[in-house]
Amino acid sequence: MLSTMQDVPLLVSRILQHGMTIHGSSQVSTWTGEPEPQRRSFAEIGTRTHRLAHALRDELGVRQDERVATLMWNNAEHVEAYFAIPSMGAVLHTLNLRLPPEQLVFIVNHAADRVVFVNGSLLPLLVPLLPHLPTVEHVIVSGPGDRSGLEALPVRVHDYEDLIADRPTAYPWPELDERQAAAMCYTSGTTGDPKGVVYSHRSIYLHSMQVNMTESMGLTGRDTTLVVVPQFHVNAWGLPHATFMTGVNMLMPDRFLQPGPLAEMIEREKPSHAAAVPTIWQGLLAEVTANPRDLSSMKQVTIGGSACPPALMEAYDRLGVRLCHAWGMTETSPLGTMAHPPAGLTAEEEWPYRLTQGRFPAGVEARLVGPGGDVLPWDGASAGELEVRGNWIAAAYYNGDGAEPLRPEDKFSADGWLKTGDVGVISADGYLTLTDRAKDVIKSGGEWISSVELENALMAHPDVAEAAVVAVPDEKWGERPLATVVLKPGSTVDYDALRAFLGETIAKWQLPERWTVIDAVPKTSVGKFDKKVIRKQYADGALEVTTLG
C-alpha cells in the first residue's frame, strides 16, 4: 500500500524561497570594522541570489553539476553564493583558506573547479595558486583588494557587484533530484590527501531541520546567531541553511576574528547565540578578563571541533554564558550530538551531562566497536571506536569526476557505517563521552590513557593557558604521555607542582613523566590541536623536555 502524500523534493532552493518570503525581514549583518555593520534582509539576500544565479549561467556558462568554489570569509556575499550555486543545480565547493597552499591546489584540481569566488582581502592567497589551477577560468572578486596580480594570468576577472548588477530578479530554479550534489567540503588532510565529502540537497534539508530542533540549537526568529565557525568548515555547521528555515538573524564576522573585535560585536550587536571551536572562546575569555565587556545577551554557545575544557565552561558560567558541547565532523554534515542534560535536574546534577559530547538526535544511529570488531554495550564503561550512520552521514568520498566513490576500509565498515576514529563510551540513555581520537590515545603497558582527560585537567590549573598531551615511545611501557603546556602571562613553570595538581584527579600511573613548555599549541586549519606536529618536534629533538623521577 502506498501513501497518499505529495512527493516534493527537499531542495536548497526551497529553503531560500522560504527564508526570503516568510522571513524576509530577518537580517544578515556583516561586520566591517566601521561604526555600523553592513545589513541585508533575507529578502534582499534572496533577490541578489537570483541575480547571481543569472550571472553564473548567462555570463559564465555555469552548468548543472559543475563545481563552483568559494574562498571567502563569513559575510553576506558568501551566503548569497551558498544559495545561488546549489539552487541552480551546480555544486558549492567551499575552500578552507587556512590549508597549506599545496593542499588548496590539490583540492581545486581534484574538484575541477572552473569558477572561484574570492574576497579581495584574500587575493594574496589565491593569486600565487592560479598558475597551478588549470581548470579555473573565472575569478569573481568581492570587496576591495589588490587585483594587479591577476592581470598576467589566463583567467577572466569579474567584480561581484558589477557581475550581478541589472540581472533579472527572478531565476527559474530547476526541479532537481533531491539526491543530487549540492555542496562539497574536503577534510583537512591530516593523514594523506584531503578527501571530498559531497552533500545532497536532501541531506542539507534534513540536517537543517535537525539543527533547528530544541534538542539541537533550537533557535527562532527572536534570536541572532554570531556565526564564528567558518563557512568553509562543514557549511558553518549548517547555520546559513538552518537560519533561512526559521528566520534567525545572522551576525557574520568577516575577517574580524580576533578576540577584541568579537567582544565588541557581542557587546554592540547583542547576539543570543554563537558557534565556534574552543580556541575562539579561550581567546575571548582572556580578552574580556583583561578588558571587561558585556556578554550578557549571549545565552547559549554551541562549541565543537574538539573537547571543551571543563574550566572554560565554568568560567563562562560565571559570565552568564552557557557553553553547550556538540560533536561532529565533515563526514556528518556535521551535527552528530549535542549535550543538553535531561529535564528536571539541578545545576549540580546537570554538570556530568554537560561534560559529555551529548546525545544523538533522531537521524543519527551510533554504535561502539571494540578492537576485535565486537559491538559493545551502551553501559558508560565499555570503550570502543564510534561508528555512525544516518540521513546526513557520508557513505563514501568523492573520487573525481566520473569515478566511483572511494570507500576506504579504515573509514567505512563493510555494512555501511562511518568509522569516526573517535574512541569513547555511550551511557544507557544515549550520552556520548569521547575519551580520545583513536590515533591519539596513549597505549601504555597494555592500558589506555586518555590524552583529552589529561589536557582538561591541566587546563584547570590557574597558571596554564593551554595544554596538549601526546604519546611518545617508552622503552619499558611502549608509550607514555608527554605534557606540553602554554603558560599564562607572568606565570612560571613548576613541573612537580603541575604533576601534583594532576594527581588530585588522575590516577598515579597515568601521570606524565615528560614535560615541556611551548609558546603555543599547534593548530590545524579548523582550530583543533595538531598533535602530529608535537610528535614530530619530539622525535626531531626540537623540544626541551624535562623528565621527572
C-alpha cell at 261: 573585535
| Spatial distance between the Cα atoms of 523 and 514, rounded to a whole number of angstroms | 21
β-sheet with 115-119: strand ranges across: 156-159, 138-142, 115-119, 67-71, 91-94, 181-186, 196-200
DSSP 383-399: -EEEEEEETTS-SSBB-
Cell numbers at 512, concatenated: 606524565
Q: Is 448 a catalytic residue?
A: yes
455 in catalytic set: no
| Alpha carbon distance 356, 131 (integer Å) | 47
Q: Give the count of beta carbons closer than 10 Å to the beta carbon of residue 81.
A: 25
Task: Please pick, among 351, 378, 448, 477, the residue that the annotation labels catalytic.
Answer: 448
Contacts with 246 (C-beta within 8 Å, 6 or more apart), sequence order: 23, 212, 219, 220, 221
Q: What is d(CA 255, CA 75) in angstroms, rounded to the nearest whole number?
A: 9
91-94/181-186 β-pairing = parallel
- Can you tell me the distance from the alpha carbon of 237 to that of 276, in angstroms, rounded to the nearest whole number? 9
Residue 116 near residue 139 (C-beta atoms within 8 A)? yes
What is the gyration radius of the CA atoms in the chain, in angstroms? Answer: 24
Q: Which residues of 142-180 are buried (b: 16+ CB within 10 A; e: fewer)?
A: bbebeeeebeeeebeebebeebbeebeeebebeebebeb
**What's the CA gap between 85 and 88, in Å, rounded?**
6
> Which of 187, 332, 356, 484 is flagged as catalytic?
187
Which residue among the candidates 102, 169, 314, 443 is catalytic per the annotation? 443
d(CA 335, CA 417): 16
The residues, ordered by sequence, that sit 6+ positions from 253 with a Cβ below 8 Å of its Cβ are: 31, 73, 74, 226, 227, 228, 261, 262, 265
In the set 331, 385, 453, 513, the catalytic residue is: 331
What's the CA angle centered on 98, arms 96 and 102, to 5 degrees?
85
Closest CA relative to residue 236, chosen from 214, 211, 215, 218: 211
Cα separation, 170 vs 538, whole angstroms: 59
Is residue 89 a contact partner of residue 64, using CB atoms and an 8 Å limit?
Answer: yes
Biggest CA-to-CA distance, the chain: 75
Across-strand partners of 117? 70, 140
3-class DSSP assignment, residue 79: helix
Give yes or no: 439 in active site: no
Element (H, E) at 293: none
What cell does 157 get?
A: 576577472
Query: Is 331 one of the annotated active-site residues of the chain?
Result: yes
Quote the DSSP letter at residue 57.
I
- The catalytic residue positions are 187, 331, 443, 448
